């Protein structure tokens, strides 16, 4: 029984490590506005930053890079964003190449430091998604439903047969589980 618990714990640790590796792998840097950069939109294009943001998916750990000339970028709250009110910025940059790390899930609001530019559409909302839940639910194989328990507890021979069926469709974590299970 002790070794079974060690096995279950080991699989949970493997799963967490796998998720972590994936998160690190996927961290991205987004150039805001793409090749257009961060600038006052033309009169017929006031939604250009909305359009840009809706084409992207942002995750915790990603960064936004604002590239601009003769302009600035402010991190503001929702009120500042909707009213183009720049008097209470949370962060301000004017160095032409400003990186903001998206360090939490939820909404981030940005505007130009020039309220006229903001009113023309030089403002941005980014919705940041959590890469995975804070308390990840254990993988199905680590906590199988009652009906699936007997094979796990039965001798190695019956454990091995169902696992041999479709290795190719299993994730590396499940394969690691199988390797550990085979070693028990
Ligand atoms: C948008 O405005 C720019 C000039 O401000 C113009 O060159 C461009 O053709 C316009 N585009 C459309 C689709 O109206
Ligand atoms: C608005 O700007 C984007 C680039 O940010 C461009 O691809 C798009 O064609 C522009 N739309 C209009 C109507 O000018
Ligand atoms: C920035 O402003 C300076 C002086 O006001 C001007 O000479 C320069 O052309 C501007 N650059 C851009 C990219 O607008
Ligand atoms: C910006 O908001 C503050 C309240 O937070 C208000 O006192 C100020 O008048 C507003 N400025 C503008 C330009 O609307
Ligand atoms: C802007 O800053 C990033 C780092 O934040 C750097 O990698 C990049 O080379 C810089 N780009 C320019 C044009 O200075």
How would you classify the pairing of strands 58-59 and 123-129?
Answer: parallel
Above 50 in pLDDT, residue 170?
A: no
Phi, psi of 111 (to 5 degrees): -145, 165
Q: pLDDT band for position 20 (50/70/90)?
A: low
Ligand nearest to the CA of 93: 5
pLDDT mean over 36-65: 95
For the chain, domain boundaries: 2-23+143-183, 32-129
Please identify, by atom number, the ligand 1 atom nearest to the C-alpha of residue 44: 1
The residue among 1 and 125 whose pLDDT is bigger is: 125
Residues with CB under 6 A from ligand 5: 97, 99
Above 70 in pLDDT, residue 99?
A: yes
The residue among 95 and 17 whose pLDDT is bigger is: 95
Which residue minimizes the CA distance to atom 2 of ligand 5? 97
Residues with CB under 6 A from ligand 2: 33, 36, 44-45, 48
Ligand nearest to the CA of 43: 1
pLDDT mean over 98-102: 97
Q: Are 76 and 109 in contact (CB under 8 A)?
A: yes
Q: Are 49 and 64 in contact (CB under 8 A)?
A: no
| Residue-wise pLDDT tens digits, 73-84 | 999 999 999 999
Q: pLDDT band for position 110 (50/70/90)?
A: very high
35 ligand 3 Cβ < 6 A: no
Above 50 in pLDDT, residue 125?
A: yes
Q: pLDDT band for position 130 (50/70/90)?
A: confident
Q: pLDDT at position 3, please?
A: 63
| Residue-wise pLDDT tens digits, 134-149 | 555 555 555 445 544 4
Q: State the distance from the centre of ligand 3 to the C-alpha of 70, rounded, in angstroms.
A: 6
Above 80 in pLDDT, residue 24?
A: no
Q: pLDDT at position 142, please?
A: 52
> What pTM was estimated for this model as a whole?
0.66
Second-level CATH architecture of 32-129: Sandwich (2.60)
Place of tokens 């309220």: 115
Work out the widest C-alpha separation in the chain, in whole angstroms.
73
């Amino acid at each position: 029984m002790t070794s079974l618990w060690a096995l279950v714990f080991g699989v949970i640790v493997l799963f967490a490590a796998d998720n972590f590796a994936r998160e690190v792998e996927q961290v991205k840097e987004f150039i805001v506005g793409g090749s257009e950069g961060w600038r006052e939109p033309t009169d017929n294009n006031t939604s250009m930053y909305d359009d840009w943001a809706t084409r992207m998916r942002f995750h915790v750990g990603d960064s936004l890079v604002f590239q601009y000339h003769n302009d600035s970028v402010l991190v503001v709250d929702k009120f500042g964003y909707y009213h183009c009110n720049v008097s209470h910025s949370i962060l301000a940059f004017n160095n032409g190449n400003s990186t903001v790390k998206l360090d939490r899930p939820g909404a981030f609001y940005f505007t130009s430091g020039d309220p006229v530019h903001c009113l023309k559409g030089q403002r941005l909302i980014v919705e940041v998604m959590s890469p995975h839940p804070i308390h990840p639910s254990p993988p199905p194989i680590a906590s199988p439903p009652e009906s699936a328990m007997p094979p796990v507890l039965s001798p190695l021979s019956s454990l091995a047969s169902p696992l041999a069926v479709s290795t190719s469709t299993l994730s590396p974590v499940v394969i690691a589980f199988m390797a550990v299970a085979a070693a028990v």
